[in-house]
Amino acid sequence: MISKTTKFNGLRDIKTMHNGSKRSIPRVQSSGYLSLYMMRMEMDRLEKERYLLDKRKITIQKRIRDMQDEMETLQKAEADNRKGLRRRPPKPASKIWKAMAVNY
């Protein structure tokens, strides 16, 4: 199990030119609008990514809960089998066939 304090470093953690705010050309006052536009686009992209990650996180948590419930059920059944309290599944009800007249 992974502890919550473990931090994974990867390529996403490397600062890029955009993240580092480094430019090869000095800023001109008119480039302020371009910078604002680019920052807005980046912010929108990150908000969308955060939404998708939250959605994925909820799906994963639900699947983990379902698996835990299933594991508990199977563990209880296995414990009952070991104790000799083997439960037999109920006998299926006899199928009643419905009769229907077919005219040719």
Q: Where are the domains of the chain?
A: 48-82
pLDDT in tens, 45-59: 999 999 999 999 999
Q: Cα 55 to the chain's mean position, in Å?
A: 6
Q: How many CB atoms lie within 10 A of CB 31?
A: 13
Q: Are 18 and 38 in contact (CB under 8 A)?
A: yes
For the entire predicted model, the pTM comes to: 0.48
Q: Cα 83 to the chain's mean position, in Å?
A: 38
pLDDT in tens, 57-73: 999 999 999 999 999 99
Q: How many CB atoms lie within 10 A of CB 86?
A: 9
